[in-house]
Amino acid sequence: MPQRILIVDDDAGVRETVGAVLRDEGFRVVFAADGPEAIASARKDKPDLVLLDVWLPGMDGIQVLEQLRAEHSHLPVVVISGHGNIETAVRATKLGAVDFIEKPFTIDGLLAAVARAFKRVRGGEEIGDDDAEAGEAVSDDAGEGTAPHRPRRTSGPRVRERTVARSVVGAGLGLHSGVRTGIILHPLPPGSGIRFGSVSGGGEVEADVANVDSTGYATTLFKKGLAVRTVEHLMATLHAYGITNLLVKVEGEVPILDGSAVELCDLVEQAGVEEQRGTIAAICVREELRIDAGPDQFLSIKPYDGLRITYELSYPAPVGDQTYVFEMREAGDFKREIAPARTFGFVEEIRALESAGLGQGGQLGNFILIGEQGIVNTELRFPEELARHKILDILGDFYLLGAPVRGDIHARKTGHSHNVALVRKIREYLTTAVR
């Protein structure tokens, strides 16, 4: 039987247009023009999915969502808004909406949201042993299956795939845009990988080193017109918690929050970590790989049974030298030792950023500002906070390999561009090793 979708919108033109698209895709479609009609249709027609507009006459979409979730707890609902903002997304997601998209949306964006909703239901409720084996197969092949961003082969141990247990929403300022933005984390089934998408549903970009567009002051992903900036703190958090399958919805930039990853850890813990049946091979190397970026400046990875990162930071006075060694054993280690370390910058760098139209979200409370006489706006959380933050960036950038990393990483006086260069070298090494 074709799956049935209930479209709830007070605009007859929208109902007919969306309905025609979905019929062409083989779905059965039913309509409702307001809240009471939608609730009645859900009882009578028993749809498999609801596309629900927020702005409805009388009973608004949020009220309809509350009623639908009360009566049909397992019915997936995608909320659509023509006046979307992060507050609406927060309310919808907390009430159990499986996705949130903004008007005007593209046909591809709508169909992608529908496909995600059905895939999520299948992945969360109907996975059997055969599906688990299929999840393992796609985890090993780049350019095949549903995870093209993952390397072909690694020699590392297999680990369980993980996602979040439920959708959650956070909000804050974008570091470079300066506008209020948000972040929505949605669970995905095994083999999906980590993907970034816009709230409006206009495409996705995989969290993969092949999609890195820029490393100036932050790591930016870009694919088919969709750019997502400042992904490294979130990627580091997902690396620490072992999240391998996730849809991250943002509007252009991951919020900077307090400049660290502590609130991102809290967001993941609020969502809960769900272990899945599929497995994925960890990233391992069998020999040292190294980038010599300049005199007394390098980044390397060696074989190691675990994950250890050493960062040596060296700046002229008043900063001086800092060194920190971090051993990742569990997510709690990351949350205690690395996640609280904040973004830092020098006064002259901030001026350069502002002249380039960047850094508009930088405030005295969300980064460490360093002047000629030292730190001017805060007290350090750790004596080596700057070096620890560099380790945070390494954890995030290295997770663009698509799987947890095992190795002994040693960095001296390096940044995002060097991280990405070595990650690309590791990807090439892993791919070449199986030719």
pLDDT at 161 > cutoff 80: yes
pLDDT at 238 > cutoff 90: yes
Select the highest-mean-pLDDT range: 158-167, 396-405, 426-435.
396-405
Angle 416-432/385-398 helices, nearest 10 degrees? 30
**Who wins on pLDDT, 162 or 130?**
162
Mean pLDDT of 289-315: 96
**Could you say which of 3.90.1150.10, 3.40.50.2300, 3.30.1370.100, 3.90.550.10 is the CATH number of the domain covering 4-105?**
3.40.50.2300
The confidence score (pLDDT) of residue 360 equals 46
pLDDT at 228 > cutoff 70: yes
Each domain of the chain, given as residue ranges in start order, spans 4-105, 133-281, 289-432
Cα separation, 247 vs 205, in Å, equals: 10
The confidence score (pLDDT) of residue 142 equals 36
Helix (H), strand (E) counts: the chain: 12, 23
**Who wins on pLDDT, 93 or 131?**
93
Cα separation, 306 vs 315, in Å, equals: 30
Is the domain defined by 133-281 classed in CATH 3.10.530.10? Answer: no
Distances (CA, A) of 117 to 76, 99, 188, 263, 321: 7, 7, 9, 27, 50
416 is catalytic: yes
Cα separation, 149 vs 423, in Å, equals: 13
pLDDT at 126 > cutoff 50: no
Distances (CA, A) of 369 to 257, 314, 345: 16, 17, 5
Measured in whole angstroms, the distance separating CA 189 from the mean position of its chain's CA atoms is 15
**Who wins on pLDDT, 365 or 415?**
415
Structure tokens at 286: 């069998």
Q: For residue 332, what pLDDT band results from cuts at 50, 70 and 90?
A: very high
Q: Average model confidence (pLDDT) for the chain?
A: 84
pLDDT at 381 > cutoff 50: yes
Least confident among 50-59, 60-69, 346-355, 423-432: 346-355
Instruction: Read off the pLDDT of residues 56-113 as tens digits, 9 standing for 90 and up.
Output: 988 989 999 999 999 998 999 999 887 656 677 777 887 888 888 877 777 887 888 8
Is the N-terminal amide bond of 318 cis, ω within 30° of 0?
yes
Q: For residue 22, what pLDDT band results from cuts at 50, 70 and 90?
A: very high
Catalytic residue of the set 389, 410, 416, 418: 416
pLDDT at 215 > cutoff 50: yes
The confidence score (pLDDT) of residue 180 equals 61
The confidence score (pLDDT) of residue 170 equals 82
- In this structure, the strands spanning 99-102 and 77-81 are parallel
Q: For the structural domain made of 289-432, what CATH number should be given?
A: 3.30.1700.10
The confidence score (pLDDT) of residue 409 equals 98
**For the residues of 192-221, what is the DSSP string, one character each?**
--EEEEETT---EEES-GGGEEE-SSS-EE
pTM across the whole model: 0.76
Instruction: Read off the pLDDT of residues 180-212 as tens digits, 9 standing for 90 and up.
Output: 667 889 898 899 999 998 876 667 899 999 999
**Who wins on pLDDT, 260 or 148?**
260
pLDDT at 133 > cutoff 50: no
The confidence score (pLDDT) of residue 176 equals 43
CA dihedral 359, 360, 364, 367 (to 10 degrees): -30
Percent of the chain with pLDDT over 90: 55
